[in-house]
Amino acid sequence: MLPGLGYGKIYGDRLRGFRAGGEYGIMRAGVGTSERAGSSPLSRMRVIAGKAKGQSLKAPKGLRTRPTTQLVRGAIFSILESVTGDWSRVLDLYAGSGALGIEALSRGAGWADFVEQEPRCSQLIKRNLEATGLAAQARVYCCQVAKALSFLSGEYNIILMDPPYSDSSMDTPLEKLAASSLVGANSTIVVPHSCHLPLSSSYGRLQLIKQRRHGDTCISVYREEH
């Protein structure tokens, strides 16, 4: 089991206030196009465990981007390993660089869908999937989370929601997710978020079952109430 509290400066794997609405589109995981001219340089992180362990992942680097630290990613998957054994289908919402969904695939998940509305990040997810050899097990959707919740179908075993760190509007997405057909009796929803922006103990049929704090980041875990 994961220890109760940890320390260290944690950042969310998000773009801060940078997301463009963009036109709805679906992209299959494949070789992405290069970053547009003049874009910020890329930072790097690595897959922590599994068949792609040690593989480098690219993430946008800049004042508005804060990649998730290895500590928080490790904590998320320690929690998941303690609460669920079914990793058949994974959904990575607000996917950013795709680091969380890719970590799940590396650790044995059968399939992962990635939802990210920023086109540059969607391209990076595809490139990271190719680099780790996991592209055949994934699909990338370049659209807003609300849009994805309206067309995705089937239950997911693990749903990762890593919103912009300063996003104070997670109640609505969680309520919509709870009311959707994507959540079933065996679904586990994990939401890393700022401790300064606490989440509710329940959203519809979803009940908070576990919460861990690491520095100024909280990891909240929800499952369907029985």
Asked if CATH classification 3.40.50.150 holds for the domain at 9-18+25-224, the reply, yes or no, is: yes
> Per-domain residue ranges for the chain?
9-18+25-224
What secondary structure letter does DSSP report for 62?
Answer: B
Could you tell me the pLDDT band of residue 139, with boundaries at 50, 70 and 90? very high
User: What value does the mean pLDDT take over residues 116-144?
Assistant: 96
Could you tell me the pLDDT band of residue 24, with boundaries at 50, 70 and 90? very low
Give residue-wise pLDDT tens across range 27-71: 333 333 223 233 345 667 899 999 999 999 998 765 344 556 789
Cβ burial of 48 (10 Å; 0-12, 13-18, 19+) is middle
Give residue-wise pLDDT tens across range 78-124: 999 999 999 999 999 999 999 999 999 999 999 999 999 999 999 99
Mean pLDDT, the chain, rounded, equals: 81
Question: The tokens of 60 are what?
Answer: 């946008």
Of the CA atoms within 13 Å of residue 110, those in its CB half-sphere come to 7
User: What value does the mean pLDDT take over residues 10-19?
Assistant: 35
